[in-house]
Amino acid sequence: MAAKKSLPGSYTRRSTFLPFSPPDITDEEISAVVDTLRSGWITTGPKTRAFEAEFCEFVEAESALALNSCTAGLHLALAALEIGPGDEVITTPMTFCASVNVIEHVGATPVLVDIDPEVLTLDPARVAEAITPRTKAIMPVHYAGHPAEMRPLLELAEQHSLYIIEDAAHSLPASYEGRTIGGIGDFTAFSFYATKNLTTGEGGMLTGSPEYIERARVLSLHGMNRDAWKRYDAEGSWYYEVIRPGFKYNMTDIQAAIGRVQLARLPEMQERRRRVVERYNEAFSQSDALQIPVSRPNVEHAWHLYVLRLNLDQLTINRARFIEELKARNIGASVHFIPIHLHPFYRDKYGWQPEDFPRAYEEYQRLISLPLHPRLSDEDVTDVIEAVLNVVEAYRN
């Protein structure tokens, strides 16, 4: 165990490093994987289908397709809707690159619009201004677990005959005006990456209508016209036909076994996240150098991330130095996200400048994501709070 080191004031750092977001895996998930390995069926099969059905019920969706990533889900949604060259898809600069990469993959053009500075999701008024005859879809991102303002986006989609493809990588479980995220847009893609509220290691789920999901299902496994997992079952058939050039995006039963246990545990894990958020909010709301996250009354926030904002005019250091100071106090932190228009590929291809999306650019410079996961003990939470407040006190303007 590392020796404690004194830092500014009376603060003494914790003796071990606190990771930003480790997965919460129990013996139950491990047993489910072992059972799958012993079953003789480890790729896409009965456990994957059971996971799809259970997930549908949980998010109140019509149909679901288990996949190897949320990125695969977004890509399949665009491909299933035949969005491609000459088409435009409106989305946000405040997202991970995968949301925009898939638009490039189908040959369409990403159109970025600036964010609502309060909750950091798409600003519907700016979406309305960006719609052209080439616009085919809107891709809202439910940032940090807070749903985007869906009502005006749905109205715009209906008015202009557009599709809504929701990036819900952060938003399980979440709801908007009483409707569960997963049953609102034409397609909704979820992530089960290692850091997410529900994990399968890698993985994702796509929800939508039975018709749309069936299109995506064919594309998800090489474009074959029958369930490939049944080919080697006692009731399966060796014969298949490729009806579209598809992809290799299927989930395995090993992943689904983990997912089914995690889904059953999700309410318990979410309750712990909410308790951590309550403590953070109570502590950080007292400092004029910090801005706590907003949760609007018409949503249920999934609290995938706890995104603190620095009021930099109250500090003598910038965000990068603040994170280094937390690291010196053995607290892991991150930034979500580097806006899309700052990345070289998109900056150079579309000629975007930092100030083209001023809200996203300004907020990016003061965002810090703090540890938020079910494995945090009360002592861990106290350590995070004390470290953040100590940095603020040491570098107050």
Q: Which residues are part of the catalytic machinery?
A: 196
CA distance 135 to 41: 43
Whole-angstrom distance, CA of residue 178 vs CA of residue 267: 17
The alpha carbon dihedral of 335, 341, 342, 343 has a sign of: positive
DSSP 332: -
Residue 248's SS3 state is strand
Residue 31 near residue 242 (C-beta atoms within 8 A) = no
378-394 and 253-284 are packed helices; what angle lies between their axes, rounded to 10 degrees?
Answer: 50
Q: At 370, is the secondary structure helix, strand, or coil?
A: strand
User: Three-state SS for 32?
Assistant: helix
At position 224, the amino acid (one-letter code) is M
Give the separation between CA 134 and CA 342, rounded to whole angstroms.
25
Q: Residue 231 carries which side chain, given as an amino acid letter?
A: R
List helix spans (H) across 119-252: 124-130, 150-160, 210-220
Q: At what angle do helices 378-394 and 319-328 cross, to 10 degrees?
A: 130
Nearest to 70 by CA among 101, 108, 39: 101
Which tokens hold the place of 183? Answer: 């049953």
Q: How far apart are CA 252 and CA 287, in angstroms?
A: 47
CA 66/CA 204 separation, integer angstroms: 6
- What is the C-alpha separation between 134 and 118, in angstroms, rounded? 29
User: Half-sphere exposure of 134 toward its Cβ, with a 13 Å CA cutoff?
Assistant: 12
What is the phi/psi pair of residue 291, to 5°?
-120, 120
